[in-house]
Amino acid sequence: MGADTLTDLRSAKPLLDTLNGAKLPVPPIWLMRQAGRYLPEYRALRETKGGFLELATDPQAAAEITLQPIRRFAMDGAILFSDILMVPWALGQDLRFETGEGPRLSPALVDHALDALEAAPARLDAVYETVRRVKPQLPRETTFLGFAGSPWTVATYMVAGQGSRDQGETRRLAYRDPAAFGAIIEAIAATTVAYLSRQIEAGVEAVQLFDSWAGSLSPGQFDRWVIAPTARIVADLKARHPHVPVIGFPKGAGGKLSAYARQTGIDAIGLDETVDPAWAHAVLPAGLPVQGNLDPLALIAGGDALDRAVDRILDAFVERPHIFNLGHGILPDTPIAHVERLLARVRGE
């Protein structure tokens, strides 16, 4: 790739270009959960609108929240404000968010059959309307990211009815009755393809699959319940939208990252904060874009500790397409000044 091409790419959409394989002198940056509770403007809006689900299903409010970190920080990517549990909600489970306790889904599929649910795909219409509202308000250089949860992680909530420390109920079901559990995975995957396709048609330019609990599985179960369904989703999306990049984020995958990268068909891989970036560069396919992987607590610490952590990541990926991000979501008590320092460090300002 010539210097003129690199210049052209940098003047267009740095994040999208990196996902397509461009290695830019200054990596683009966005942060997982960048639209959320650490921002005073988000907290103020939430006070007027109510709970999380009320915000996520109000296209005007969700669009405003999506845009807040773009206005404040000029992030290279805007991530749709929504939640990975919109898919179970569309599959027919009731969804509510308990203050201080997290999401609840009912009926829990550990005690009920999947066919007891009545699908309600219209519940997702507000998400598509949010995308349509955000798209014309984004700066020309900002890449619009959609997302969904990966089947394994979504299934852990659907089976247990809530989050858990070790996903034990879901892992037991997968061993005890793989046919029944496979039906749940298939239903999630099919709905996810349709959901992401509609996001793309509404205006997002790339999508991310969040597999937040991928690290809880043994290697054989990881192959069956993470790699295989992710590969099916990516293949189906590519058949519909061949030019839309897909980022895979298998949190906690560790030594299974290389297999995930090679076997799923993803266009870029997100790394959590436990991954040594130098090791990842050595074992991942040459040229595969990587995203990550600053520890969210290093961002809270700030100062020299933050600078050293940022520099270590930048140095490790200097020879590879790289999107700077956190290893997981930004935490609510993150100081705004530390985010500003991070951006300045990454951008060399």
Q: Identify the active-site residue in 83, 211, 267, 295.
A: 83
| Region of 307 on the Ramachandran plot (φ > 0 left; ψ -120 to 50 alpha; else beta) | alpha
- Is 46 one of the catalytic residues? yes
Token pair in block for residue 1: 């790739």
pLDDT higher than 70, residue 11: no
Mean pLDDT of 79-91: 97
pLDDT higher than 50, residue 1: no
Distance from C-alpha of 142 to C-alpha of 219, rounded to nearest angstrom = 37
Token pair in block for residue 119: 């699908």
pLDDT of 101-129, one tens digit each? 789 999 999 888 898 899 999 999 999 99
Give the model's pLDDT for residue 2.
41
Mean pLDDT of 237-243: 98
pLDDT of 307-343, one tens digit each? 999 999 999 999 999 999 999 999 999 999 999 999 9
Give the model's pLDDT for residue 102.
84
Q: Identify the active-site residue in 38, 128, 157, 260.
A: 157
pLDDT higher than 90, residue 60: yes
Give the type of residue at 61: A
pLDDT greater at residue 48 or residue 265? 265
Give the model's pLDDT for residue 49.
84
Give the model's pLDDT for residue 50.
80
Give the model's pLDDT for residue 319.
96
pLDDT higher than 50, residue 171: yes
- Using a pLDDT cut of 90, give the percent of the chain over it: 90
pLDDT higher than 80, residue 222: yes
Annotate 206-245 with b (16+ C-beta within 10 A) or e (fewer): bbbbbbbbbbbbeeeebebbbbbbbbbbbebbeeebeebb
- Is 175 one of the catalytic residues? no
Mean pLDDT of 37-65: 93
**pTM for this entry:** 0.94
* Environment class of 80 (CB within 10 Å of its CB; exposed 0-12, middle 13-18, buried 19+): buried
pLDDT of 253-264, one tens digit each? 999 999 999 999
Distance from C-alpha of 90 to C-alpha of 57, rounded to nearest angstrom = 12
Average pLDDT taken over every residue of the chain: 94
HEC states along the chain? CCHHHHHHHHHCCHHHHHHCCCCCCCCCECCCCCCCCCCHHHHHHHHHHCCHHHHHCCHHHHHHHHHHHHHHHCCCEEECCCCCCHHHHHHCCEEEEECCCEEEEECCCCCCCHHHCCCCHHHHHHHHHHHHHHHHHCCCCCEEEEEEECHHHHHHHHHHCCCCCCCHHHHHHHHHCHHHHHHHHHHHHHHHHHHHHHHHHHCCCEEEEEECCHHHCCHHHHHHHHHHHHHHHHHHHHHHCCCCCEEEEECCCHHHHHHHHHHCCCCEEECCCCCCHHHHHHHCCCCCCEEEEECHHHHHHCHHHHHHHHHHHHHHCCCCCEEEEECCCCCCCCCHHHHHHHHHHHHCC
**Contact criterion met (CB below 8 Å) for 42 and 65:** yes
pLDDT higher than 60, residue 5: no
Cα radius of gyration rounded to whole Å, the chain: 19
Q: Identify the active-site residue in 17, 33, 128, 195.
A: 33
Assign domain 3-347 to a CATH class: alpha beta
- Is 132 one of the catalytic residues? no
Distance from C-alpha of 85 to C-alpha of 214, rounded to nearest angstrom = 16
Give the model's pLDDT for residue 99.
73
Distance from C-alpha of 203 to C-alpha of 130, rounded to nearest angstrom = 10
Give the model's pLDDT for residue 206.
98
Lowest mean pLDDT among 6-10, 22-26, 197-201: 6-10
Token pair in block for residue 265: 């068909």
- Is 157 one of the catalytic residues? yes
Token pair in block for residue 235: 């293949």
Q: Identify the active-site residue in 10, 37, 104, 312.
A: 37
Cis peptide before 293 (omega within 30 of 0): yes
Mean pLDDT of 80-88: 97
